[in-house]
Structure 1
């Protein structure tokens, strides 16, 4: 209902929906019906698989709360991308441009350190929030955030590695931001569409 009202008022609607474990068939059936309505009223609806979150937590030897931290990182990253001034700014029009492409869309996030920026991309590609592959995507808004120690070389390495598997004609809109809280770290937040 909220997504429908927001869309009617010309708001950009991004929703996140949790999918129950497969061992809960009745809940899965209810969720699938509800998600169809949610997707119709959303520009982007990210399906969060509880099974994938649990698998990622086990795979990384983390507890459930840490494994589900990806959702908070994703939301914080997207809000920060749009709300705070950066070295290369992104705005709602950039986001609209990317998510209005035909096909599926998803959001992903990856974090790493400035001494291993390549790991940021690997982390993002293993994002447990969606089972969609970003390979061949036609649209991408990518934000790279780091500390004051993040160099142009770091930014270039992360973005180049990430967009290398997208469609050669993919429309890529890039942003960059430095934050004192991110010293020694790099975070990539990407909205990928046309999947």
Structure 2
């Protein structure tokens, strides 16, 4: 394994009423705990991206990095924070996963790693569009961090606006592989369909 991973938990969770979505409980365990358990065997190291008082995550025993771009600019800023950490640790590739999506594939890293393009994103089948990108789940060449920082400073916020310019590859997984929990209804649905 030559990749490390960043868990993206830097959002404001507005649709869930604020707070740390990753701390919500599902089947007696936190979403974050489930994500950590799922990604750790797939990579060499894991870092958490979060904002605010980072000491609130001390119990996870993970390094925590905040966005370096102010104003909650979205997941791209978390990916940049992960890239910067990865570069400091000597990694060439970063895997990103979302803290609110606890059931992503156990072969995510392997499947994304089958492609050598600078950015590889997960996708799911979509009857209308063919493929529906899941842009918070990706494999990122760490050397792109300077370009990404410049794009963020220029106001780019949408992940695919930047990744398409990098020559992204989309890898199609199964429908339902990336069910993310954004609202109380999503959490209730996940409780009923827990596997």
* TM-score, normalised relative to structure 1: 0.29
TM-score (norm 2): 0.29
> Considering only CA atoms, is the larger Rg found in Structure 1 or Structure 2?
1
